[in-house]
């Protein structure tokens, strides 16, 4: 992360057309003209701001939304603010609206206390995580936009042989892309469906999002490699994960134990109690 000044961090670019900034304990009053769509999550603190001809108050648990061409001006900070803001180029949002069959350009409320909040939190967290790959970020962005525009990606679609075949084509591409990964756009192209239609169809047909499905494939491959004696650090790289800590997190969640414990169990080895006792007695060795 590139630190601009105390309390403000510009996150590295992870998605084309999306920028993110995080402030911590901020008490400054900001103002400006929006040239993009904006989605801000407040984690702590509260402040008043002027927007669309009136004053608003934003506190933790609320989304602050902005549209291009509109003026925002902070009025008062009630308590130091910790927040993360992302801005999206207009084609991202307007293209999403068209794909979802909505009118474009879409109109967003100034504040949202429920709709899209969970999705925005998930995307903001993923933007801070260097292990988040393109498919994860694109899927989360699509889910957030669908929620904000009132057309969730979990909404059921009409099942048909065509949609089933489309989901299976996307599934097959995931199996071919375990190590290198794949983008949501590539999956959509392979399936013959739009991104949002694919997300709904894939989840309905296979029970997981495309990214969750890919993660399960990676952990399945990791189990095979660990059983052969490959180190966890090497396994993480060979299954397309960012590092060993990301492997550990996903492995525990999916398998129920750590990679090291799994490797020892499946290979019939264990740590010697005597060695364990020695380590406990001499923690600095």
d(CA 94, CA 102): 9
pLDDT of residue 273: 39
List domains and CATH numbers for the chain. 2-113 (2.60.120.10), 153-207 (no CATH), 216-266 (1.10.10.60)
Q: Mean pLDDT per segment of 10 residues, for the chain of length 285 residues?
A: 63 91 94 94 95 93 92 96 95 88 80 88 94 94 91 62 93 96 95 93 94 97 96 96 95 96 84 38 33
Rounded to a whole number, what is the largest CA-CA distance in the chain? 73
* Backbone angles phi and psi of 29, in degrees to 5: -100, 125
Q: How many CB atoms lie within 10 A of CB 181?
A: 17
**Whole-prediction pTM:** 0.84
How confident is the model at residue 2, as a pLDDT?
Answer: 45
pLDDT of residue 151: 66
H or E element, residue 125: helix 117-128
Query: Backbone phi, then psi, for 99, in 5-degree steps?
Result: -60, -35
């Amino acid at each position: 992360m590139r630190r601009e000044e105390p309390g403000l961090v510009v996150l590295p670019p992870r998605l084309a057309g999306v920028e993110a900034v995080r402030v911590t304990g901020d008490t400054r009053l900001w103002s400006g003209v929006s040239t993009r769509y904006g989605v801000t999550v407040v984690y702590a603190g509260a402040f008043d701001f002027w927007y669309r001809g009136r004053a608003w108050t934003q506190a933790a648990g609320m989304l602050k939304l902005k549209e291009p061409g509109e003026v925002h001006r902070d009025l008062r900070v009630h308590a130091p603010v910790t927040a993360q803001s992302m801005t999206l180029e207009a084609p991202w949002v307007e293209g999403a609206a068209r794909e979802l069959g909505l009118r474009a350009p879409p109109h967003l409320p100034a504040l949202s206390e429920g709709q899209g909040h969970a999705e925005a939190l998930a995307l903001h967290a993923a933007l801070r995580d260097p292990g988040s790959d393109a498919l994860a970020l694109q899927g989360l962005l699509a889910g957030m936009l669908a929620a904000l525009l009132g057309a969730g990606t979990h909404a059921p679609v009409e099942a048909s042989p065509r949609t089933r075949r489309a989901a299976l084509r996307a599934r097959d591409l995931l199996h071919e892309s375990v190590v290198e990964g794949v983008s949501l756009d590539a999956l959509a192209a392979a399936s013959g469906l739009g991104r949002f239609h694919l997300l709904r169809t894939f989840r309905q047909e296979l029970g997981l999002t495309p990214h969750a499905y890919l993660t399960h494939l990676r952990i399945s491959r990791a189990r095979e490699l660990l059983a052969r004696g490959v180190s966890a650090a090497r396994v993480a790289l060979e299954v397309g994960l960012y590092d060993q800590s990301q492997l550990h997190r996903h492995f525990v969640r999916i398998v129920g134990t750590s990679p090291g414990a799994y490797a020892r169990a499946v290979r019939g080895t264990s740590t010697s109690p005597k060695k364990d006792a020695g380590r406990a007695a001499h923690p600095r060795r």
